[in-house]
Amino acid sequence: MIFYVFLLDYRFIMARIAYVNGRFLQHSYATVHIDDRGYQFADGVYEVIVMYNGMMIDELIHLDRLDRSLKELQIRKPVSRAALRSIIREIVRLNKIKYGLIYLQVTRGIAKREHQFPNKSQPSIILTAKSITMPSRKTIEDGIKVITIKDIRWKRRDIKSLSLLANIIGKQKAIEKGAFEAWQVDDNGKITEGTSSNAWIVTQNGVLITRTADHDILNGVTRVSILKLADRLGVQYKEQSFSVQEAKAAREAFISSATTFVTPVTQIDDVLIGNGKAGALSLSLRNGYIEYANNEGATC
């Protein structure tokens, strides 16, 4: 059962609407309890789904990953998939999103603060949505800078956990160095992934490489779609780890995520990649991904 609670105040009539545990609320009034385990322990998971041209990209694959993350942490599903899909559509409609993000978070719920799982708790679910502007062609052609940092995260990065301290510290370091993203490096000198994106290179021989999706990285939904696209385009690719040196010697590099699609990387630390402009394969994968997002990747 879905309740609508609009605290009607005409100053907020155009305000953003959020969903919290069964109710649609004005974003500024949308709150959860201080004993929610998401707040106390980051005991929960999330997903980010993108709306592109009025359609969701890879909605069902995101929902599959959400189910997987919940299962790995033994958190019950708060609502059925059918109910969740209708809540998503309602949040999109209420916020009038054509290009934007849907943020979906589930926690183990409210309980007395004790580390072990509570005997009984109702999982909490929240959804928010916001519009975004797509980057200009020039931004994409110029590419972004990434820095490399030590990967200090826990060992289950395949779970899309709310616990993002290492990621936010990494992103902050990147911003302070004038970069867009930080590529995290494991103890063997190999790149795992970005703080909120997957990492890719194209070798001088034209082979596309991204790390194998095991416990060391989040298996990006965008990553999976790009691999399918590479298959279709006949691009030779390998899922294997690559070192910082290999990345710096690459012909091309890029990041992928729901929000950045395929975004070329033209500088890693102080080293320019290729000729310092977006690479040809990166651009064609970006275009291919956008076409996919407009067609078979889309649900409305």
- Which stretches of the chain bind ligand PDD, using CB under 6 A? 48, 167, 193, 196-198, 218, 220-223, 256-259
Q: Is 121 or 211 the residue whose CB approaches ligand PDD more closely? A: 211
Residues 6+ apart with CB under 8 A from 256: 197, 198, 200, 220, 222, 223, 226, 262, 263
- Decide: residue 265, CB within 10 A, 0-12 exposed, 13-18 middle, 19+ buried: buried
CA distance 86 to 92: 10
Closest by CA position to 219, among listed 38, 99, 62, 40: 62
Q: Is 111 or 146 the residue whose CB approaches ligand PDD more closely? A: 146
Residue with the shortest CB distance to ligand PDD: 220
Q: Cα dist. 163→109, 171, 210, 248 in Å? A: 15, 14, 24, 30
Identify the H or E element spanning 61.
Answer: helix 59-72
Q: Is 124 or 222 the residue whose CB approaches ligand PDD more closely? A: 222
Q: Which residues are known to be catalytic?
A: 160
Q: How far is the CB of 256 from ligand PDD (least distance, A)?
A: 6
The answer to whether the CB of 91 falls within 8 A of the CB of 127 is: yes
Q: Is 196 or 282 the residue whose CB approaches ligand PDD more closely? A: 196
Q: How far is the CB of 242 from ligand PDD (least distance, A)?
A: 16
Q: Which two tokens stand for residue 206?
A: 């034209």
Q: How far is the CB of 228 from ligand PDD (least distance, A)?
A: 13
Q: How far is the CB of 144 from ligand PDD (least distance, A)?
A: 15
